[in-house]
Amino acid sequence: MKDIVSAFYLKKTIMEIIFLDGEINMVVTRFAPSPTGFLHIGGLRTALYNYLWARRNGGKFKLRIEDTDQSRNSAEATKAILEAFDWVGMNYDGDAVYQSDRFELYKQYIQQLLDEDKAYYCYMTKEELDALREEQMARKERPRYDGRYRDFKGTPPAGVDPVVRIKAPLDGEIVFEDGIKGTITIKADEVDDFIIARSDGTPTYNFVVAIDDALMGMTDVIRGDDHLYNTPKQIIVYEALGFKLPRFYHVPMILGEGGKKLSKRDGAADVMDYKRMGYLPEALLNFLVRLGWSHGDQEIFSMEEMLEHFDPCDINASASQYNPDKLLWLNSHYIKNSSNDRLAKLLEDFGLYLLSHDKREILLDIFKERCKTLKEMAEQIKEVLEAPESYDSKAIKKAMKGDAVQILDSFVKKLENAETLHLPTDYHKVLENFVKEQEIGFGKIGMPLRVALIGRLGGPDLSDIMSIIGRYETAGRIKNLLNYMKETSA
């Protein structure tokens, strides 16, 4: 997978390093999606922030697939995550790590905590736990496990497969510094003895995340703030196992229309849907980096500029708003600044093959200035290259009135008798002369001619269209419309 920052590395003369607890540490970050669904843009933004911070500091960026929930995992979702990384060009260091390959490792750490009396077997049944919660709620207390098996030394109840709970602190506070939100303080009694291994022996999320982050050498954990209250539990695991804490940064969510949670309708779609909609990867990354982070008033960032300026401490503490118009604006910018060779190759994904087309340069020069997505570009170019199979009824009603048929018929003759026609300026001159000869306004020929050429009103300059398809195709399309008018009026 090609590294999109290889050019940036060539500019680096000194590897930046970070001091953690007085020691020199290479920055190591990670993105750790669960393969229970496709990668959406919120996840891609989190991955981008981790990627930028690691690469800016000459560190490592790792990918971990958190697939411990075997009942909900999807091989298709895992494949889509990897495809999304490939599409946007964010390469990760080493192979992707799969938690499902590490169950034996987790079991060893569970046993270690049991042996050190930092965890214990809990034989409380689901029915007992439900009853306890109902009692607590009736007393208007926060539902929580009451620690009844924390120091249990008796005979285990028969027929109960126990879970394993970690011994959380009973008093004091859990305090950590968040790079975005500042000092976070949680009272110890807000965290009960949470489960680290289920009754079937499988480990739980907060337990394996802490172990993996520690063993994979994470120095900085940048993730969504929906994980903020998982952090105290993970800190308990870190301290129980004697692991060094990373720096935490909890990124506020992306909001949709009206300040609501981002929905699929608003834009929380599969990242690869953006490719299918015709967005360029650099436009999507530029859009995402600005959803919660800024550098002055700058809006357009190359990858090199992101790497030069990005710092997770500068991420806004408040939620950001998804703006589809902003994304379209950025995408149109990157389309306009893409080479025609690249655009021609990308348009093949939309069923348009222009690499050997003799009017490729004219086509792409025209439409890269008009279109906001590759999909839109492909559709509009096809509209020019392919004769219309039908005509917009409103356009027909507006354009084909009065003497429009006679004017089109006369224009066909004008085209057929014209001298060499090749460039758009050649066709524009023919149009100018025709309007003068007929003593008509340009709209008299312009609207019906446009309907004949592309089946509707609107679209690019008529001289450009005629130059692209040539005089004989132009005449043929006009005759098709004239035949259509004859048939419909019969």
142 and 230 within one domain = yes
161 and 107 within one domain = yes
Each residue's pLDDT tens digit, 143-178? 889 999 999 999 999 989 999 999 999 999 999 999
108 and 93 within one domain = no
- Answer yes or no: is 285 within a domain: yes
Binding residues for ATP: 264
For residue 24, the domain's CATH number is 3.40.50.620
Each residue's pLDDT tens digit, 36-53? 888 999 999 999 999 999
67 and 15 within one domain = yes
For residue 486, the domain's CATH number is 1.10.10.350
- Answer yes or no: is 382 within a domain: no
345 is catalytic: no
User: What pLDDT sits at residue 182?
Assistant: 96
209 and 155 within one domain = yes
202 and 88 within one domain = no
- As a whole number, mean pLDDT of residues 66-80 equals 83
442 and 413 within one domain = yes
243 and 114 within one domain = yes
- Answer yes or no: is 334 within a domain: no
**Phi, psi for residue 180 in degrees, rounded to 5:** -110, -45
At residue 387, the 3 state secondary structure works out as: coil
Spatial distance between the Cα atoms of 455 and 386, rounded to a whole number of angstroms: 10
- Answer yes or no: is 314 within a domain: yes
* Whether the Cβ atoms of residue 316 and residue 119 lie closer than 8 Å to each other: no
Any residues with CB less than 8 A from the CB of 177 and at least 6 apart, and which? 183, 184, 247, 248
66 and 106 within one domain = no
pLDDT confidence band for 474 (50 / 70 / 90): very high
Of 251, 277, 308, which closes a domain?
A: 251
Any residues with CB less than 8 A from the CB of 240 and at least 6 apart, and which? 113, 116, 118, 119, 166, 167
**Percent of the chain whose pLDDT exceeds 70:** 94
Lowest mean pLDDT among 30-34, 61-65, 356-360: 356-360
Containing structural domain, residue 123: 102-251
- Answer yes or no: is 292 within a domain: yes
Each residue's pLDDT tens digit, 264-285? 666 667 899 999 999 999 999 9
245 and 143 within one domain = yes
Catalytic residue among 244, 264, 394, 401: 264
Of 195, 228, 251, which closes a domain?
A: 251
192 and 110 within one domain = yes
Tell whether pTM > 0.75: yes
Of 233, 251, 269, which closes a domain?
A: 251
Name the domain count of the chain. Answer: 3
- Answer yes or no: is 383 within a domain: no
pLDDT confidence band for 490 (50 / 70 / 90): low
Q: How far apart are the first and last CA of the chain?
A: 63
User: What pLDDT sits at residue 268?
Assistant: 64
User: What pLDDT sits at residue 260?
Assistant: 82
Quick one: which of 223, 209, 106, 93 has its CA closest to 164? Answer: 106
47 and 68 within one domain = yes
- Answer yes or no: is 342 within a domain: no
Binding residues: 264
